[in-house]
Amino acid sequence: MVCTTTFQLNTGHQFPAVGLGTWQGKGTIDDENALESSIIHALQSGYRLVDTAQLYGTEHVVGRAIRNSGVPRSEITVVTKFWGHWHHDPAAALRISLEELDIEYIDVFLMHWPWATAPDRKPLRKDESPTFKETWTMMESLVGDKCRAIGVSNFTQKTLDELAETAKVTPAINQVELHALNPNHKLVEYCHEKGIVVMSWATLGGGGDSDTKEVILGHELFKTIAQAHGCSTGVVSLSWAVQRGINVIPKSGSHDRIEENISLVTLTDEEMDKINNAHKTIKSYRLAKGIQGLRMKVDGKDSLQMWTWQDFGWEDESGNWLT
């Protein structure tokens, strides 16, 4: 059965629990046509949320697919994100996304990461202007007919607390890496208490050089639960997240898999508990630490774009996880 669960944003709007991710679609014309076909199939199969970003280079394809889907624009929620070199001018970033998408308005506009770069893409330290707090202040004025809500991505309790010191608008969304090996139990509880809906990226383990995807799709824990429900291991993880009140945006070019990913099951309390503890019983892993092209050393420490793990609020100085 198609999942029709929604979560209420702090704006009052309903937000679908399951959406389609589009980051993998950037490439040739053939790739774009395949992505457009996937989005149209998803919308015609019951999906009512599409996630994209300026970095993905897919906004124009998302917009075209929506216009060609036959599904009314008013029924579809579109989330997009702007990159760090626009932190000095999010209004300009919004104009770019509106032009690329060409779908009248954006439902939720996200700051892709808390870190900023200069317009020439030079990374800036956490305390260099524009800080994410300064960028958020500029974003607050964007909310209106063309931008229905604003939010953040890759924020933690630490950065959300810092944001709240000056924010007049609470983020509607916080999109973060979240999967069984990085379940973010503390962060999710914090966001829910603040009325912030959590979106999950890499729910099925993501890509890169780690074995996270192989574990989440192939470990006996997930296979046993999948067998009990007559579904795939992917559906097990997606169902686990949605049962926790978290939005998921799985990506797939397969029409069959697209249909499968929105056909969720109800897990038992025992099954939920086993997956909730997989980061202890199997292993814990944070994919974001290994993002190629963003990693660099700062003051002798590992960082992403000049932000250390402590700057993000991922870990304390002793390496203890905080989210």
Long-range contacts of residues 186-190, Cβ cutoff 8 Å, at least 24 apart:
186/157, 186/322, 186/323, 187/156, 187/157, 187/323, 188/244, 188/245, 188/246, 190/157, 190/160
SS3 content of the chain, % helix, strand, coil (to 5): 40, 20, 40
Interhelix angle 185-194/157-164, nearest 10 degrees: 30
85 carries a ligand binding annotation: no
Nearest 5°: CA angle at 208, between 48 and 220?
Answer: 80
Residues known to be catalytic = 56
Q: Give the span between the Cα atoms of 25 and 175, in whole angstroms.
A: 19
Nearest to 136 by CA among 111, 158, 157, 153: 111
Instruction: Take residue 216 and report the two structure tokens written for it.
Output: 């989440």
DSSP string, 243-291: HTT-EE----S-HHHHHHHT---PPPHHHHHHHHTHHHHT----GGGG-
Give the distance from CA 52 to its chain's centroid.
9
Give the distance from CA 199 to its chain's centroid.
5
Give the burial class of 251: count Cβ atoms within 10 A of its Cβ; 0-12 exposed, 13-18 middle, 19 or more buried.
Answer: buried
